[in-house]
Amino acid sequence: MRNIFLIARREYMEQIRSRAFRLSTIGLPAVLGAVLAISYFSSLGLGTSEHLAIAAGDPALANDIRTRLLSAKNSKAIIDVVAPATPQDHATLVEQVRAKAIDGLLEVETPAGGAPAATYTSRSSGNFMTTARIKDALNDGLVSEHLTGSGMKQSDADALLKGVAIDTYQVKSTGPPVKSNAELSFWKGYVMALLLTMTTMIYGLNVARSIVQEKTSRIFEVMLATVKPSDMLAGKLVGAGAVGLTQIGIWLVAGAAILVSPFAAAALTGNFAIHFTWAECVLFPVYFLLGYLLFSSLFAGLAATCETEQELQMYMPLAAAPTWLSFSMILLIINDSNSFWSVAVSFFPPCAPIVMFLRMASQQPPAWQFAVSIGLMILSIWGTLWLSSRLYRVGILMYGKRATLPELLRWLRYS
Amino acid sequence: MPVVELVGVTKAYENKVAVHNLSLSIDAGQMFGLLGPNGAGKTSSIRMMMGITIPDTGRINLFEKPFERKSLERVGYLPEERGLYKKMKVLEQLVFFGELHGLTAEESRKRATEWAKRMEIADSLLKKTEELSKGMQQKIQFIATLLHDPGLIIMDEPFSGLDPVNAVLVEKTLLELKDQGKAILFSTHRMDQVEKLCDSICLINNGQAVLVGKVREIKATYERNRVIVEFEGSPSFLSSDEIAEAKNFSGHAEIKLKPHGNAQKLLHEAAAVASIFRFELVEPSLEEIFIETVGGKSDA
């Protein structure tokens, strides 16, 4: 036990003092924040400063669509109207799109007695934000024209088309329903899942990289003269895990300090109010620890079979696959966080930490589901440790070439 | 009583027998040389003594008890594959190894400082290991092996990477430790050092002990048929019928006589053509015994 502590302390001190730790502690949330901020602010301004042309047979409809597009939030668009448009206008306007004089051309036809038809011509095929904005303005314009044509006042038609905002409330197990913001809840869960993924993978791979480096520096034989391989592995896992917990602790404390600051109090109100529950604060480090132990114990065994860090890279898809699987289920989880597949994947140990936090973003899963997922993770950690410790105790003394699969199977039998 | 004892130890890997039925013992206050060509089974034998690998058959006793990990606290081991934590400072590293061997941090620090002075690296204690030369790192490893005052010291190639000055320093230290009653086992390819330092040797070839015993007794079993001659004049006597093999280094000749070759006759022949300053009949060197015994198969 003393040796495990000494090895863990050495590992902890070395990593804590490293530049990589300082950079990731400050850099990871900063990069994540920057990415989210950039995507948020860029989404506000997307497609709003374009120069468009609307060509239609009906000037009133064309002008109505123009007004709707210009009244969109943050719109800086320039919109020309050509109505009534002729076939020659079509050719000229398409040529203007090609010559980059305008960014896009909306053509609307409203044949008497027939269904309206519209086309949008631009140089880019991927600007779905602009297309969606134009579609909304076009549909509203057509409905408005139809309603006013049927005798409704323009102001009534506009009021009808404005839509109704819905306030959302969430019912908790006790107490009255609380006001909720589904979008913000989702982003909170998403960010927590992302942080969990990054930390478990970073620290899991740190253990693997450290084993390969120690193997390269030939320190193992010196250590094995006094320490059992299992103690060495345990010390390494505990040390690197403690570094991860320290980093999460720093983030939690810094996050709490920011949330209670006067600036945050002013900024994070109303729709932007973020609340962390006790369950989230407790489960985040718990799932980090479990996810970290699962990844690091698996990679410790694999790293012991490698000669170089390049060889270790070969196993990276094994770490990335559960993350891909978990994040590919986001839509399913948002739609129904209690569906069979959402629950099943949250029980699958490699995906459990991420999927559980994505599920918690919509609705708190029942306690028994946490118990099952944590229990299954502990079982799988035990199994992985059993396997890895066998690979580790033979692999760390094997030099020269990467072990083949039959050799790995033989190593398992030796132990 | 033996500090370490191997009795009929065998270890096989896959299709190769690394060590076969090896027996040896080392007493307190004895310096023991484990010799053999590369791949002979020296490191495998040492790893079994350290419990890094387990023998398939046979038994290993440490400090008069069957092997147990607890006994390793009294063993200092310098493996062939050296390794240190590159990013750690030298003193921190030595304290860490001392603590692993059961010392307190304070005691480790005190001993590390004393040893650093003794091994002339006191100025480097606060430097990172990666900043030091290979020879300096070798000395740090040497200190780490001895910090906890082990009763048994096992060193695999302790002189590799050391310049002549530091090699002498290590030799002197080992002799002092021997005088203090420590049992010392080391493997090396440097036969001159074995001859100078070791009381006993075990020569291993293909996993088997082919020569075991006290250096003096082993050498005594070989015929005194080597002649060292220092001369001035014609070297024509080197083609004498009494000589099986001769090496002439301009005025210094090393001669191997034929079986039953007559040294007195050779001396007369030499004196007839050259002035002789030295004519000495000697035993074969350990190097010659080594080469003769392993049949020139060494790839060392």
Mean pLDDT split into 10-residue runs, chain A, 415 residues: 88 84 81 72 62 88 87 78 85 89 88 84 75 87 86 83 75 71 74 80 82 78 79 84 83 74 58 66 84 85 79 77 81 80 87 85 84 92 84 71 69 62
Question: What's the domain count of chain B?
Answer: 2
Angle at alpha carbon of residue B29, lines to B27 and B33, rounded to 5°: 70
Q: Write the single-letter amino acid at A58.
A: D
Which pLDDT band holds residue B191 (cuts at 50, 70, 90)? confident
Contacts of A198 (CB under 8 A, 6+ apart): A28
Q: Chain B contacts of A231, Cβ < 8 Å?
A: none
Q: What pLDDT, on a 0 to 100 scale, did the predictor assign at position A39? A: 67
Distances (CA, A) of A407 to A211, A410, B61: 19, 5, 32
SS (H, E, C) A168-227: EEECCCCCCCEEECHHHHHHHHHHHHHHHHHHHHHHHHHHHHHHHHHHHCCCHHHHHCCC
Q: What pLDDT, on a 0 to 100 scale, did the predictor assign at position B113? A: 92
Q: Write the single-letter amino acid at A263.
A: F
Pairwise CB contact (< 8 Å): B83 & A227: no
Structure tokens at A290: 């479990």
Q: Does a structural domain hold residue B299? A: no
Among A225-234, B69-78, B173-182, the least confident range: A225-234
* Residues B75 and B33 reside in one and the same domain: yes
Contacts of B251 (CB under 8 A, 6+ apart): B230, B231, B232
Q: What pLDDT, on a 0 to 100 scale, did the predictor assign at position B184? A: 92
Q: Note which residues in 166-225 of chain A have CB less than 8 A from chain B.
A: 214, 217-225
- The partner residue sitting opposite B85, judged by closest CB among A18, A219, A221, is A219
Pairwise CB contact (< 8 Å): B83 & A220: yes
Helices (H), chain B: 42-49, 90-100, 105-118, 134-146, 164-179, 191-197, 215-220, 263-273, 286-294
Q: Does a structural domain hold residue B218? A: no
Catalogue the long-range contacts made by B114-120 (C-beta closer than 8 Å, 24 or more residues apart): B115/B143, B115/B146, B115/B147, B116/B90, B116/B91, B116/B143, B118/B173, B119/B143, B119/B169, B119/B173, B120/B169
Average pLDDT in the B117-138 region?
Answer: 86
Q: What pLDDT, on a 0 to 100 scale, did the predictor assign at position A267? A: 56
CB A63, CB A72: distance < 8 Å:
no
* Residues B229 and B209 reside in one and the same domain: no
Q: Is the peptide bond before B235 cis (omega within 30 degrees of 0)?
A: no
* Residues B122 and B271 reside in one and the same domain: no
Residue B63 has pLDDT above 80, yes or no: yes
Which CATH number characterizes residue B110's domain?
3.40.50.300
Q: A49-163: what fold?
A: D-Maltodextrin-Binding Protein; domain 2 (3.40.190)
Q: Chain B contacts of A223, Cβ < 8 Å?
A: 83, 100
SS3 content of chain A, % helix, strand, coil (to 5): 70, 5, 25
| Smallest Cα distance from A14 to chain B, Å | 8
Which CATH number characterizes residue B247's domain?
3.30.70
Which pLDDT band holds residue B96 (cuts at 50, 70, 90)? very high
Q: Does a structural domain hold residue B288? A: no
Rg of chain B, C-alpha, whole Å: 23
Q: Does B74 touch chain A (CB under 8 A)?
A: no
CA A88 – CA A327 distance, rounded (Å): 50
Which pLDDT band holds residue B300 (cuts at 50, 70, 90)? very low
What one-character DSSP code corresponds to residue A110? -
Q: Chain A contacts of B97, Cβ < 8 Å?
A: 222, 226
Structure tokens at B250: 């301009």
Q: Chain B contacts of A10, Cβ < 8 Å?
A: 85, 88, 96
Of B240, B249, B254, nearest in space to B283 by CA? B254
Q: Chain B contacts of A19, Cβ < 8 Å?
A: none
* Residues B146 and B165 reside in one and the same domain: yes
CA A235 – CA A224 distance, rounded (Å): 13
Q: At what angle do helices A154-161 and A128-149 cross, to 10 degrees?
A: 140
Q: Which one of B85, B92, B101, B130 would you mutate to disrupt binding with A, by most A Cβ within 10 Å of its Cβ?
A: B85
Q: At what angle do helices A352-362 and A278-304 cross, to 10 degrees?
A: 160
Residue of B nearest to A1 (CA): B100
* Residues B20 and B163 reside in one and the same domain: yes
Contacts of A207 (CB under 8 A, 6+ apart): A236, A237, A240, A296, A299, A300, A303
- Structural domain including B236 reads 223-282
Which pLDDT band holds residue B108 (cuts at 50, 70, 90)? very high
Q: Does B67 touch chain A (CB under 8 A)?
A: no
Interface A-B, measured as beta-carbon pairs within 8 A, has a size of 57
Query: How do residues B193-202 score in pLDDT, each as one tens digit?
Result: 888 888 888 8
Contacts of B175 (CB under 8 A, 6+ apart): B31, B197
CB B52, CB B15: distance < 8 Å:
no
Give φ, ψ of B165 to 5 degrees: -65, -45
Q: Does B69 touch chain A (CB under 8 A)?
A: yes
CA A314 – CA A306 distance, rounded (Å): 10
Contacts of A22 (CB under 8 A, 6+ apart): none
| Smallest Cα distance from B93 to chain A, Å | 9
| Smallest Cα distance from A292 to chain B, Å | 24
CB A373, CB A343: distance < 8 Å:
no
Residue B299 has pLDDT above 70, yes or no: no
| Smallest Cα distance from A258 to chain B, Å | 35
CA B300 – CA B297 distance, rounded (Å): 9
Q: Which one of B4, B43, B50, B52 would you mutate to disrupt binding with A, by most A Cβ within 10 Å of its Cβ?
A: B52
Which pLDDT band holds residue B171 (cuts at 50, 70, 90)? confident
Q: Chain A contacts of B83, Cβ < 8 Å?
A: 214, 217-223
Q: What pLDDT, on a 0 to 100 scale, did the predictor assign at position A340? A: 86
Average pLDDT in the B45-49 region?
Answer: 87
Residue of A nearest to B52 (CA): A224
Structure tokens at A143: 């409905």
Of B180, B149, B174, nearest in space to B162 by CA? B174
Angle at alpha carbon of residue A250, lines to A14 and B93, rounded to 5°: 10
| Smallest Cα distance from A307 to chain B, Å | 15
Q: Write the single-letter amino acid at B248.
A: N
The strands making up A104-109's β-sheet, listed across from edge to edge, are A78-82, A51-56, A104-109, A117-122
Q: Does B146 touch chain A (CB under 8 A)?
A: no
Q: Please give the distance of CA A221 from its chain centroid, rounded to a whole number.
A: 42
ipTM of this predicted complex? 0.74
Whole-number average pLDDT of chain B: 86
Residue B22 has pLDDT above 50, yes or no: yes
In three-state secondary structure terms, B20 is strand
CB A276, CB A191: distance < 8 Å:
no
Q: What pLDDT, on a 0 to 100 scale, did the predictor assign at position A228? A: 80
Which residues are registered as beta bridge partners of B230?
B252, B278
Q: How are beta strands B152-156 and B16-27 bridged, if at all?
A: unpaired
Q: What pLDDT, on a 0 to 100 scale, did the predictor assign at position A128? A: 72
Q: Note which residues in 25-64 of chain B have CB less than 8 A from chain A.
A: 47, 50, 52
* Residues B72 and B169 reside in one and the same domain: yes
Higher pLDDT, B151 or A77: B151
Query: How do residues B265-291 score in pLDDT, each as one tens digit?
Result: 999 999 999 999 999 888 877 777 887
Q: Note which residues in 104-143 of chain B have CB less than 8 A from chain A.
A: 141
Q: Does a structural domain hold residue B165? A: yes
CA A42 – CA B167 distance, rounded (Å): 68
The strands making up B226-233's β-sheet, listed across from edge to edge, are B243-248, B252-257, B226-233, B274-282
Q: Does A14 touch chain B (CB under 8 A)?
A: yes
Q: Which one of A7, A217, A393 would you mutate to disrupt binding with B, by most B Cβ within 10 Å of its Cβ?
A: A217
Pairwise CB contact (< 8 Å): A10 & B96: yes
Residue B109 has pLDDT above 60, yes or no: yes
Q: What pLDDT, on a 0 to 100 scale, did the predictor assign at position A133? A: 83
Contacts of B223 (CB under 8 A, 6+ apart): none
Contacts of B15 (CB under 8 A, 6+ apart): none
Task: Give the domain ranges of chain A.
Answer: 49-163, 181-414
Structure tokens at B264: 């007195």
* Residues B236 and B184 reside in one and the same domain: no
* Residues B84 and B187 reside in one and the same domain: yes
Of B39, B37, B38, B61, nearest in space to B48 by CA? B61
Residue of A nearest to B88 (CA): A14
Strand boundaries in A334-391, DSSP class E: none
